[in-house]
C-alpha cells in the first residue's frame, strides 16, 4: 500500500512548499537540471558548460549596491570591480611610466603631462558594460535562463528567488550550485568608517579620488595604490602588520621597496582610529603608530578600505538547511568535488573554504563541476600549483610554494633556492632602477630537484610565469629548467639560466647580455 501511495504521489510547488511531480518513468520532474546562484565568472562558466552538455539551466544574479550606492551588471567581481578594470587602470599607469622612458629613446615629449581621470574611467566603464552585455548574449545563445534576482535555499532541491521589488518565484532543480563569491569588508569599530569607499566603488568613480589613503596591504590595496600613484595621484598605504600576507615575504619586500621608490607612501605598523569629514569635504584621518604608540593626523580626499573580503553567504538560508560553514571565515566547507554537507548542493569559487580567491580557478572548477553533474566526467579540480600575479607597478607573479612554506614543509636543508637579480633590457636606455627585478626558483634539494616554487618580479610578470606554470603540472625539475632554451633577449630567459644558490652566498646579480 505504501509503495502504491509513493507511486501515485504528485506534489506541486507553491511558495514555500516544494512538491515533486513523479513521472511515469519513476523520475522526479524538476523545473531545471541545475540552478546556479551567482553570475560571476565561475557561476557563468558552470552554467554555460552545463547547458552545452544538454542540461536545463537557470542562473540567478543580483548585485546589492555597495554602501556608497555603486552597482553594476552581470559578470561578478572580476568583470566589474576586480581583475578587468584593475588591469586597465594598471595599464594606464604603465603608460605614464612609458611616456617618461620615451624621452630617453628619442621621443620629444612635453615637459608637463597630466592625466584625466574622467577619460580613463569612462573608457574602462564602457568596456566593462560591453562585457556585461556580452555575458547576457552568451547566456541567451546557450539557452541558459538568466534571472536578475536574489536567491535563497528552501531545501536541497528548491530555490526561492526575489526581484528587487520583492516579487517572489520558486524554482526546483536536481542540483543547486552556489557561486556567490565575496564582497569587500570594512572595519566595524572605527568612527567614521562610512566615509570610506572600497574596491567596489573606486573603479566607478566619476571624479578623481585625489589624495588617497589605502588602508590595508593586501594585493588589492597595493594594486589600487600603485595605479593611483602611476597616474599622478598622492597615495599612501597604511599597513597594520605585513604586506601581501600569504605571499613570499622576500618578494613582498621587493614589491613594496619598488613602490616606495615609485612614489607610493607607506605608513608602516599603523592602524586607523577615526575618520572625520570636514566642512570642506576632506577626510581627516587619525591613526596610531603601534611601534611608538603615538597618534597622527592627516587629511585625504578619499579613504579606501582594503582590509579583506567576506563571503556572500548570509542571505542564502544555509543555516536552515544545515549547510556547514567555517564559523570564523563564514565560507562553505566543501569536499574535493565541491559538494557541501547537504546532498545536491554544491559550492565553489571564493565562497568555498580553502579555495584560492582567483577567477581562473573558479572558471575551471565551475566547468569541471558542470561536467560531473551532467555525468560526462569524473575529473576533479586540481587546486595545487595555481599561478597568480600581483599587478603592482613592478609586477610580481608566482606559482607553487613560497620559500617560507617550502622550508616549513621540507626543512631548511631539504630545499635549494636558486636566485638572480637581473636588469630588463627595456630599463637600460631609460636608466631605470632595476634593483628589485629578481627571480628565484625553490627546489627540493634531494633527488632530481623537483621545482616546488617559482617567483618573479619584473615587467609582464604574469605573462612570464603563465608559461612556467605548465611545467609544474608536468613535475618540472631544476635540470628541466636548465635544459630549456631561453628566448633572447627577454626577462623570461633569465629563469632558464639561474644557477646561483642562496646557500652559496655568491652575488646573484646577472652580468652581460
CA atoms within 13 A on the CB side of 365: 33
364 is in an annotated binding site: no
> Roughly what angle, to the nearest 10 degrees, separates helices 83-102 and 117-141?
140
User: Which residues sit opposite 28 in a β-bridge?
Assistant: 22
| Measured distance CA(303)–CA(212) in Å, rounded | 6
447 is in an annotated binding site: no
| Measured distance CA(34)–CA(39) in Å, rounded | 14
118 is in an annotated binding site: no
411-415 CB contacts, 8 Å cutoff, 24+ apart: 413/445, 414/444, 414/445, 414/446, 415/442, 415/443, 415/444, 415/445, 415/452
| Measured distance CA(419)–CA(412) in Å, rounded | 16
Give the 3-state secondary structure of residue 513: coil
322 is in an annotated binding site: no
H-run or E-run covering 455: strand 451-457
User: Is residue 473 a contact partner of residue 385, using CB atoms and an 8 Å limit?
Assistant: yes
What is the separation, in whole angstroms, between the first and last Cα of the chain? 87
193 is in an annotated binding site: no
Give the 3-state secondary structure of residue 472: helix
User: Is residue 33 a contact partner of residue 57, using CB atoms and an 8 Å limit?
Assistant: yes
| Measured distance CA(376)–CA(243) in Å, rounded | 43
> Roughly what angle, to the nearest 10 degrees, separates helices 41-52 and 117-141?
20
208 is in an annotated binding site: no
User: Is residue 365 a contact partner of residue 381, using CB atoms and an 8 Å limit?
Assistant: yes
76 is in an annotated binding site: no
Cα 413-416-420 angle, rounded to 5 deg: 145
| Measured distance CA(248)–CA(403) in Å, rounded | 6
- 90, 115, 488, 499: which is the annotated catalytic residue? 488
DSSP 272-333: EEEEEE-TTS-EEEEEEETTTTEEEEEEESEEEE-S-EEES-GGGTHHHHT--B-TTT-PBP
The phi and psi torsions of 189 (rounded to 5 degrees) equal: -120, 25
Rounding to the nearest 10 degrees, give the CA dihedral for residues 236, 240, 245, 250.
70
> Roughly what angle, to the nearest 10 degrees, separates helices 219-230 and 249-262?
20
The whole-angstrom distance between residue 54's C-alpha and the CA centroid of its chain comes to: 30
349 is in an annotated binding site: no
217 is in an annotated binding site: yes
Is 499 an active-site residue? Answer: no
Q: Which of 180, 367, 354, 192 is nearest to 273 (CA)?
A: 192
Catalytic residues: 488
Q: Which residues are annotated as a binding site for NAD(+)?
A: 216-223, 308
Q: Which residues are annotated as a binding site for FAD?
A: 87, 151, 350
Q: Which residues are annotated as a binding site?
A: 87, 151, 216-223, 308, 350
Amino acid at each position: 500500500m505504501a509503495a502504491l501511495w509513493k507511486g501515485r504521489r504528485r506534489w506541486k510547488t507553491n511558495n514555500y512548499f516544494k512538491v515533486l511531480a513523479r513521472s511515469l518513468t519513476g523520475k522526479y520532474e524538476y523545473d531545471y537540471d541545475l540552478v546556479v546562484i551567482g553570475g560571476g565568472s565561475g557561476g557563468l562558466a558552470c552554467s554555460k558548460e552545463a547547458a552545452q552538455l544538454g542540461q536545463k539551466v537557470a542562473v540567478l544574479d543580483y548585485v546589492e549596491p555597495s554602501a556608497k550606492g555603486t552597482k553594476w551588471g552581470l559578470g561578478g567581481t572580476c568583470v566589474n570591480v576586480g581583475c578587468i578594470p584593475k588591469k586597465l587602470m594598471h595599464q594606464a599607469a604603465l603608460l605614464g611610466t612609458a611616456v617618461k622612458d620615451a624621452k630617453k629613446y628619442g621621443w620629444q615629449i612635453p615637459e608637463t603631462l597630466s592625466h584625466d581621470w574622467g577619460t580613463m574611467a569612462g573608457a574602462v566603464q564602457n568596456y566593462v558594460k560591453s562585457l556585461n552585455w556580452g555575458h547576457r548574449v552568451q547566456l541567451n545563445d546557450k539557452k541558459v535562463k538568466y534571472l536578475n534576482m536574489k536567491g535563497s535555499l528552501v531545501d536541497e532541491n528548491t530555490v526561492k528567488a526575489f526581484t528587487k521589488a520583492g516579487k517572489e518565484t520558486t524554482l526546483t532543480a536536481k542540483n543547486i550550485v552556489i557561486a556567490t563569491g565575496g564582497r569587500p569588508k570594512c572595519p566595524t569599530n572605527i568612527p567614521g568608517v562610512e566615509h570610506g569607499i572600497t574596491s567596489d566603488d573606486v573603479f566607478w568613480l566619476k571624479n578623481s579620488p585625489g589624495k588617497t589613503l589605502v588602508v590595508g596591504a593586501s594585493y588589492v590595496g597595493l594594486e589600487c595604490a600603485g595605479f593611483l600613484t602611476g597616474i599622478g595621484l598622492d597615495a599612501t598605504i597604511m599597513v597594520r602588520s605585513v604586506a601581501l600576507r600569504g605571499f613570499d615575504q622576500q618578494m613582498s619586500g621587493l614589491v613594496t621597496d619598488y613602490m616606495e621608490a615609485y612614489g607610493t607612501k607607506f605608513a608602516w605598523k599603523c592602524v586607523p582610529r577615526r575618520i572625520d569629514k570636514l566642512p570642506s569635504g576632506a577626510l581627516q584621518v587619525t591613526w596610531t603608530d603601534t611601534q611608538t604608540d603615538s597618534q597622527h593626523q592627516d587629511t585625504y580626499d578619499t579613504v579606501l578600505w582594503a582590509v579583506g573580503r567576506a563571503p556572500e553567504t548570509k542571505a542564502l538560508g544555509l543555516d536552515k538547511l544545515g549547510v556547514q560553514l567555517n564559523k570564523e571565515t563564514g565560507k562553505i566547507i566543501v569536499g574535493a568535488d565541491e559538494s557541501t554537507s547537504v546532498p545536491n548542493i554544491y559550492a565553489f569559487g571564493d565562497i568555498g573554504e580553502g579555495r584560492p580567491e582567483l577567477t581562473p580557478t573558479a572558471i575551471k572548477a565551475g566547468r569541471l563541476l558542470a561536467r560531473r553533474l551532467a555525468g560526462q566526467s569524473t575529473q576533479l579540480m586540481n587546486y595545487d600549483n595555481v599561478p597568480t600575479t600581483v599587478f603592482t607597478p613592478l609586477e610580481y607573479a608566482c606559482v607553487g610554494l613560497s620559500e617560507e612554506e617550502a622550508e616549513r614543509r621540507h626543512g631548511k636543508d631539504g630545499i635549494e633556492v636558486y636566485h638572480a637579480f637581473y636588469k630588463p633590457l627595456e630599463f637600460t636606455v631609460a636608466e631605470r632602477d632595476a634593483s628589485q627585478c629578481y627571480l628565484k626558483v625553490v627546489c627540493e634539494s634531494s633527488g632530481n630537484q623537483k621545482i616546488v616554487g617559482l617567483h618573479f618580479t619584473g615587467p609582464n610578470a604574469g605573462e612570464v610565469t603563465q608559461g612556467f606554470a605548465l611545467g609544474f603540472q608536468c613535475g618540472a625539475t631544476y635540470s628541466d629548467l636548465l635544459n630549456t632554451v631561453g628566448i633572447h633577449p627577454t626577462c623570461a630567459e633569465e629563469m632558464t639560466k639561474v644557477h646561483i644558490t642562496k646557500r652559496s652566498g655568491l652575488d646573484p646579480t646577472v652580468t652581460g647580455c
